[in-house]
């Protein structure tokens, strides 16, 4: 039996040795296939996720280099975030097989976290105690020809340099050269060195769109503009804020124009003022709204629906307000912005509750189009209900408005101080 096997092997070797032309053809085909697979790794996709392993981190408090190895070519997408200063890198179709010991803090880096986003994709979060810039983040083939490595260089920087880098990177959703660029956005460079905290106040409605009408004929567009002008004056007296209005006269603005104005000013806070009506005339008090795909209650949904009809009621074509951004890193920015919006809403409710009548469950949420800037914390404040005679009278009263403005200014100062103090 062994002799037969040996004879078979000799016969096969003889045949192979005599077919030199065929051998050259096979070698050439194998080489070409390898080149194709390297150029287009998706063709080699066997349904299994990429594997990330062999993390190495070297450096000091001024500079740190990360090297992360992969068995196939990754497509990292990255972005920097504030509070704390972080570099977030997403790896589609990747599993993390990193030794926890290799992820221990070192030099500039205060912590390294990683884990699954879903069944296939993973995220790496690198945090620093201070501001930094990304000098480079590249994917390179291993010298051995097997696998790839991601090399990221982080260098300590000033807060102004960090903010400038953050703005530049978010302008292309933080995409690397190996990743197609997603939707372009403009980011708020909040509290960069020397930059005042910027507030954009949005007096609801205006022009052909009068908004709600009170039981005594008071127009919402008139009340919101008067209140906004008085609030702007109050905030500017502090000396620390840059305050802008979306409108300072009786003109119509589309909802998306209001959002655009906030982003063009690099707003750190967007406050939209309204005074709606409601079918239950006995209900009164202020309400604070933040944006959400799911409404907190039926009334919040109804308010959002009415406000979102502003463009249509004015005879303007409604642009698509559902600007979905598929890049998961832009979703991260939206989530962080939403957190700040919620934080200010809670502060605002707390300040108003001492002096101003609030509706039951005063912090509510719904799908307000005017609050959908992805990178500007945004809140809509219903000052009261014009359908209620007492609320209407208060909204027209200069002394009541002054008291409400004092509370709102206190909330803004508290929120701005917290963000500046946290490096945001």
pLDDT digits (tens, 9 = 90+) for 356-403: 899 999 999 888 888 888 788 999 999 999 999 999 999 999 999 999
Predicted confidence (pLDDT) at residue 36 exceeds the cutoff of 80 = no
Tell me how far apart the alpha carbons of residues 411 and 113 are, in angstroms, rounded to a whole number: 34
pLDDT bracket for residue 173 (50, 70, 90): very low
Residues 389 and 318 sit within 8 Å (Cβ to Cβ): no
The per-residue DSSP string of 241-302 comes to EEEEES-SSS----HHHHHHHHHHTT-SEEEEEE----S-TT---EEEEEE-SS-SSHHHHH
Mean predicted confidence (pLDDT) in 281-296: 88
Euclidean distance between CA atoms 202 and 258, whole angstroms: 7
108-158: pLDDT as tens digits: 899 999 888 877 789 899 998 888 889 889 999 988 888 999 999 998 888
Measured CA to CA, the distance from residue 138 to residue 135 in angstroms comes to: 10
Lowest mean pLDDT among 101-110, 151-160, 161-170: 161-170
Residue 422: CB atoms within 10 Å: 11
Domains parsed from the chain with CATH numbers: 50-170 (2.60.40.3500), 197-421 (3.40.630.40)
Contacts (Cβ under 8 Å, ≥6 apart) of 9: none
Average of pLDDT values for 254-263? 86
Q: What's the chain's average pLDDT?
A: 78
Residue 320, pLDDT > 80, answer no
Q: Is the pLDDT of residue 409 over 90?
A: yes
Is the pLDDT reported for residue 280 higher than 70? yes
- b/e per residue 158-179 (b: at least 16 CB within 10 A): ebebbbbbbbebbebbbbbeeb
More confident residue, 242 or 41: 242
> Which of these ranges, 253-257, 260-264, 332-336, 406-410, has the smallest mean pLDDT?
332-336
Name 296's Cβ contacts closer than 8 Å, sequence gap at least 6: 361, 364, 365, 366
pTM: 0.60
Q: Give the mean pLDDT of 240-258.
A: 92
Q: Is there a contact between 377 and 291 (Cβ–Cβ < 8 Å)?
A: no
Kindly list the distances between the CA atom of residue 125 and the CA atoms of 102, 128, 348, in Å, as whole numbers in the listed order. 14, 10, 32
**How many whole angstroms separate alpha carbon 285 and alpha carbon 386?**
10
Instruction: Compute the half-sphere exposure of residue 343: CA atoms within 13 Å on the CB side of its CA.
Output: 18
pLDDT confidence of residue 214: 92
Pairwise pLDDT comparison (303 vs 2), residue with the higher score: 303
Task: Pick the range with the lowest mean pLDDT from 83-87, 205-209, 337-341.
Answer: 83-87
- pLDDT-derived band at 70, boundaries 50, 70, 90: very high
Comparing 57-66, 182-191, 233-242, 323-332, which segment has the lowest mean pLDDT?
182-191
Q: Does residue 16 carry a pLDDT above 80? A: no
Summarize the confidence of residues 218-231 as an average pLDDT.
96
The predicted structure's pLDDT at residue 85: 86
Q: What is the pLDDT of residue 298?
A: 83
pLDDT score recorded for residue 336: 79
Q: How confident is the model at residue 176 (pLDDT cuts 50, 70, 90)?
A: very low
Q: What pLDDT shows up at residue 328?
A: 59
**pLDDT digits 0-9 by tens, 180-197:** 323 222 333 334 445 789
Q: Across residues 342-350, what is the average pLDDT? A: 93
pLDDT at 211 over 80: yes
Confidence band of 61 (pLDDT split at 50, 70, 90): confident
Residue 81 pLDDT class (50, 70, 90 cuts): confident
């Amino acid at each position: 039996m062994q002799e037969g096997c040996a004879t078979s092997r000799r016969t096969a070797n003889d045949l192979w040795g005599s077919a030199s032309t065929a051998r050259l053809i096979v070698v050439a085909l194998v080489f070409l296939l390898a080149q194709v697979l390297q150029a287009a790794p998706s063709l080699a996709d066997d349904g299994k996720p990429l594997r990330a392993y062999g993390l190495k981190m070297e450096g000091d408090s001024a500079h740190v280099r990360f090297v992360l190895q992969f068995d196939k070519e990754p497509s990292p997408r990255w972005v920097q975030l504030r509070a704390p200063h972080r570099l977030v890198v997403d790896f589609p179709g990747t599993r993390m097989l990193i030794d926890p010991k290799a992820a221990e803090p070192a030099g500039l880096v205060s912590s390294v976290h990683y884990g699954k986003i879903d069944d296939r994709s993973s995220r790496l979060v690198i945090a620093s105690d201070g501001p930094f810039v990304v000098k480079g983040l590249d994917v390179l083939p291993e010298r051995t020809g097997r696998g790839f490595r991601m090399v990221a260089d982080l260098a300590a920087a000033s807060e102004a340099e960090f903010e400038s880098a953050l703005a530049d990177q978010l302008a292309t959703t933080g995409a690397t050269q190996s990743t197609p660029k997603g939707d372009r956005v403009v980011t708020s460079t909040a509290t960069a060195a020397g930059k005042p905290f910027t507030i954009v106040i949005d007096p609801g409605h205006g022009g052909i769109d009068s908004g709600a009408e009170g039981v005594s004929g008071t127009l919402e567009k008139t009340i919101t503009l008067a209140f906004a002008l008085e609030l702007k004056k109050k905030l500017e007296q502090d000396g620390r804020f840059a305050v802008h209005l979306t409108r300072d006269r009786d003109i119509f603005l589309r909802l998306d124009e209001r959002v655009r104005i906030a982003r063009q000013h690099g707003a750190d806070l967007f406050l939209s003022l309204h005074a709606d009506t409601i079918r239950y005339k006995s209900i009164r008090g202020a309400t604070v709204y933040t944006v959400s795909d799911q409404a907190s209650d039926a009334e919040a949904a109804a308010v959002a629906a009415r406000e979102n009809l502003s463009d249509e009621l004015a005879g303007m074509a409604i642009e698509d307000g559902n600007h979905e951004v598929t890049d998961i890193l832009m979703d991260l920015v939206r989530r962080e912005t939403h957190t700040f919006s919620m934080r200010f809403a809670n502060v605002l409710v707390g300040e108003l509750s001492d002096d101003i009548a609030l509706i039951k469950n005063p912090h509510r949420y719904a799908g307000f189009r005017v609050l959908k800037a992805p990178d500007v914390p945004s809140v809509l404040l219903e000052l009261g209900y014009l359908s209620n005679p007492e609320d209407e009278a208060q909204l027209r009263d200069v002394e009541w408005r002054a008291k409400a403005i004092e509370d709102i200014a206190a909330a803004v100062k508290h929120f701005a101080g917290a963000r500046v103090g946290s490096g945001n």
